[in-house]
Amino acid sequence: MATAAAASASEPETDPKAGPEAEGEEDEAKADRTRRKVLTRAVATAACKAMGPAWDEQREEGVSESDGDEEFAMASSAESSPGEDEWEYDEEEEKNQLEIERLEEQLSINVYDYNCHVDLIRLLRLEGELTKVRVARQKMSEIFPLTEELWLEWLHDEISMALDSLDREHVYDLFEKAVKDYICPNIWLEYGQYSVGGIGQKGGLEKVRSVFERALSSVGLHMTKGLAIWEAYREFENAIVEAARLEKVHSLFRRQLAIPLYDMEATFAEYEEWSEDPIPESVIQSYHKALQQLEKYKPYEEALLEAEAPRLAEYQAYIDFEMKIGDPARIQLIFERALVENCLVPDLWIRYSQYLDRQLKVKDLVLSVHNRAVRNCPWTVALWSRYLLAMERHGVDHHVIVAPVTFEKALSAGFIQATDYVEIWQAYLDYLRRRVDFKQDSSKELEELRSAFTRALEYLKQEVEERFNESGDPSCMIMQNWARIEARLCNNMQKARELWDSIMTKGNAKYANMWLEYYNLESPRAHGDTQHCRKALHRAVQCTSDYPEHVCEVLLTMERTEGTLEDWDIAVQKTETRLARVNEQRMKAAEKEATLAQQEEEKAEHRKRARAEKKALKKKVARGADKRKADDAEKEWGGGDEEEQPSKRRKLENSVPAAAEEAPDLEEEMGLFGKSASADVTPPSKQKERAAAALKRDVPKVPHDSSKDSVTVFVSNLPYSMEEPDVKLRPLFEACGEVVEVRPIFSNRGDFRGYCYVEFKEEKSALQALQLDRKNVGGRPMFVSPCVDKSKNPDFKVFRYSTALEKHKLFISGLPFSCTKEELEEICKAHGTVKDIRLVTNRAGKPKGLAYVEYENESQASQAVMKMDGMTIKENVIKVAISNPPQRKVPEKPEARKAPGGPNVPRQIYGARGKGRTQLSLLPRALHRPSATGAQAENGPALKPAVTTSEATEAPKMSNADFAKLLLRK
């Protein structure tokens, strides 16, 4: 019965599917069931063999020994490795030897080549090099955790060669190493089976029970594979001849039925059949409770069965579910199951180790997980830093932390960027600093700390810079920490000044925050004196290039507080000279930038005109070719002569639909004043389609009444895809007061243009509506501003953010897009009182990784700059500076624009944006007409352009035949 339950327990692992894939999965499931059946029976067989003649009396299932041995032999033969006959071929053997030598040489160069290890073990095993295989496996296991397949292969080889008790102890040691790498039910099952074989030795029975109990603690809760461990344990206890075995089996049944496992019904039925007494009510209640829990877990288990490896998303959802329930044993198990398939995902290891550090806090378990994490992902510096903290937190000996297996191994792990080495050195130096008792003037720990700082700087200079061609620590954070320790904890200002001089010579003298940090150390209120403090600030004024105003103000503030009149005069003179020079440099840079921008605009305009002329030429040539073909056809079929063409042209002009005359707003919007309606030469069919579309999208244009500006707000930055904006926006604004009208603005094609006017009945409602500014509507921040006629108030600007230097406000860049306002506020408030935080987003409302943080005063902002610049937030290194945004460009006023035709030509002749590429003179000269009435001009009649000499001496017009001759002329 137990074997039947074991077979059925594996059925949920395979989801029935159609096609050849389902057949393959069924075969795999069948093989797994057969193998597990063999193992459980082999456990009982081995146990009864060890017990002697009493075996025949204790057989309850009627399974013969020969059947178990035969099945076990079949399973063993099925697991034998392929390719055992290849050694017979000399050529193949020689080829394998050369490959082995190549792999050994490659490993001597790079011992972290995982695939090279696997290939070497495979070839050595193929060649029968038993001693070399053991050595190769041992070396690989010291560097990397081995997978379940590699461990089972290694264990089977060692089991087959074990002859005496010493060999058996060696196999036990291998099993202990194997179960520590990953939680694998199959390895635990093999471990239990192998321990049964040694039951006849001293302490063998206790050894077997100990292995099975540990297996249950490790994988007994595994819903799909834990059943096999329970069955194997019960089979073993059934085979034992002793009075207490019945109670032991009862206990195993009751423990198993109290936890949710697949195929629980079969286990319960087996218990009813096996037990001579009725099942206690408490056991039945526990069983039904476990069944209810099983229903909650089934969706997550089924999701794992349906998905394909590595199934990270499914495991993440399962972990979240277990974390909500809060059972530590189940949380640990699901993490371990996920890591079997996702062992190379650093974030998963970080989350697991963080849970253990904060919740369980069991030393052996925590350190084991941290050690496995760095073995699986040695390139991730965050895992090494957490490992060092965990060892310090749990009181690991100092010589173990500094030993080659920990910190020295971290340095040789091969990080992917230079900053990773800075981070691991900082973590190590922080650990050494915490060991020092600074109350003593000198100690062994202090000397070790100083020696480590010196070594760190040499390592970063020699090793990291040569490898990455960059320092990894451009801000000299390690040297800054060393200087702070010397100044604040050791009272050694001389050493601190030497370190800061070295920092400034490494290209940091131009940064204000570096000088301000130095100033804080030199301040008399801190650890220095006024003389050195003044000297540092004078140097800062001369050298700083990013925020010289801030440094100058700090110098003046210090002299105002502590300096003499002479000191004040010197400081004022020096700061004024420096700021004058800075302003001059900025003006030159601005002029240069403006010149470059103008040149780029001229180049762009030139390219635009060239493309337009080229396109116009192509159309002109094409039109001439079409006319020539039409003339040839008329001549061929006896059509009319050229004198009939003007009448046809007049007919075409008169065929313009009335809809074009009834849409003056369309002409005004497109800027086509001064051109006759006869310029529309669109075919009649398309004109009908366009007229139908115009009727379909007939949106009445209501002129805005400027007298109602006080009760009207302008709403913009709305989604263009919004349907019926007046219907959707009205409920939103009715919360502010009675809405008279919501007037959306549409294009000539009937498309919503993203803005509208909202008119209220009362002025206070309009003022209250301004509070809806930046409210998210359709995934975008809606802009709500007062309704102002800009033609009467050209200086009115809605932009509410400052564009000048704000010394109490910070500009932060490089933020992760997932960083929220609350998370940023939590970080910033540690350096002062935060008044406001604004995350910068694009028009779609998505973050741009930028933010403005406003502090209560300038000193808090200065401290925040020094503390936060270069900080890492969610693996992003941020940059922090005093807010000093560039001046916003003022758009050129319409009346200042010059039309291409002359300085005083009204803009309507060329459209609202000047002559666009679609408004070039592409019509035949015969259709050109001068501007007619003065009603089409903006401020009076349109001016008549002066007649040029070229127009006066224009050649006579050519006929179509003359034009054709010109085109055909070679």
Which residue from 557, 551, 480 is spatially nearest to 521, judged by alpha carbons? 480
| Residues 162, 235 share a domain | yes
Whether the pLDDT of residue 158 is over 50: the answer is: yes
**pLDDT tens digits for range 742-801:** 999 988 888 888 889 999 989 889 988 988 888 888 767 788 988 877 666 666 655 555
pLDDT at 812: 93
**pLDDT tens digits for range 242-266:** 656 788 889 999 999 999 999 999 9
Last residue of a domain, one of 882, 915, 933: 882
Whether the pLDDT of residue 152 is over 90: the answer is: yes
Name the least confident of 128-132, 265-269, 876-880, 909-913.
909-913
Q: Is residue 912 part of a domain?
A: no
Q: Is residue 214 part of a domain?
A: yes
Give 523 or 687, the one with higher predicted confidence.
523
Q: Give the best-scoring range by mean pLDDT among 449-453, 931-935, 963-967.
A: 449-453
pLDDT at 656: 40
**pLDDT tens digits for range 76-130:** 444 444 444 444 557 888 888 899 999 999 998 888 788 999 999 999 998 888 8
Last residue of a domain, one of 453, 481, 508: 508
| Residues 716, 597 share a domain | no
Residue with tokens 């199951």: 337
Whether the pLDDT of residue 68 is over 70: the answer is: no
Pair of tokens at residue 411: 């340095």
pLDDT at 773: 87
Instruction: Give the range of the structural domain holding residue 830, as residue numbers without chain letter.
Output: 809-882
In this prediction, residue 419 has a pLDDT band, given cuts at 50, 70 and 90, of: very high
Whether the pLDDT of residue 164 is over 70: the answer is: yes
pLDDT at 28: 52
Q: Is residue 479 part of a domain?
A: yes
| Residues 744, 845 share a domain | no
Burial string for 460-493 (b: 16+ CB within 10 Å, else e) reads beeebeeebeebbbebbbbbbbbbbbbbeebebb
Name the least confident of 294-303, 409-418, 694-703.
694-703
- Residues sharing a CB contact under 8 Å with residue 427, sequence separation 6 or more, in sequence order: 384, 385, 388, 389
Pair of tokens at residue 771: 């509070």
Whether the pLDDT of residue 941 is over 60: the answer is: no
Last residue of a domain, one of 282, 306, 325: 325
Give 851 or 525, the one with higher predicted confidence.
851
pLDDT at 790: 65
| Residues 825, 759 share a domain | no
Q: Is residue 375 part of a domain?
A: no
| Residues 123, 265 share a domain | yes
Burial string for 835-864 (b: 16+ CB within 10 Å, else e) reads eebebeeeeeeebeeebbbbbeebebbbbb
| Residues 260, 179 share a domain | yes
**pLDDT tens digits for range 561-574:** 888 999 999 999 99
Alpha helix positions (H), 240-263:
245-257
In this prediction, residue 31 has a pLDDT band, given cuts at 50, 70 and 90, of: low
CATH number at residue 177: 1.25.40.10
| Residues 745, 597 share a domain | no
Cα–Cα distance between 228 and 267 in angstroms, integer? 12
pLDDT at 961: 67
Name the least confident of 320-329, 696-705, 813-822.
696-705
- Single-letter residue type at 91: E
CATH number at residue 814: 3.30.70.330
Residue 477 Cα to chain centre, angstroms: 26
In this prediction, residue 845 has a pLDDT band, given cuts at 50, 70 and 90, of: low
pLDDT at 483: 94
The domain total for the chain is 5
- Residues sharing a CB contact under 8 Å with residue 40, sequence separation 6 or more, in sequence order: 2, 3, 6, 228, 231, 232, 235
**pLDDT tens digits for range 187-246:** 999 999 999 988 888 888 899 999 999 999 999 999 999 999 999 999 888 887 565 678
| Residues 502, 564 share a domain | no
Count CB atoms within 10 A of the CB of residue 175. 21
Q: Is residue 892 part of a domain?
A: no
| Residues 828, 722 share a domain | no
Whether the pLDDT of residue 659 is over 50: the answer is: no
| Burial (0-12, 13-18, 19+ Cβ within 10 Å), 239 | buried
Pair of tokens at residue 349: 């290891």
Task: Give the strands of the sheet with 834-841, arranged side by side.
Answer: 834-841, 847-855, 806-813, 879-883
| Residues 776, 821 share a domain | no
Give 684 or 757, the one with higher predicted confidence.
757
Pair of tokens at residue 329: 């044993």
| Residues 267, 137 share a domain | yes
Pair of tokens at residue 345: 């995902």
Give 938 or 771, the one with higher predicted confidence.
771
Cα–Cα distance between 319 and 317 in angstroms, integer? 5
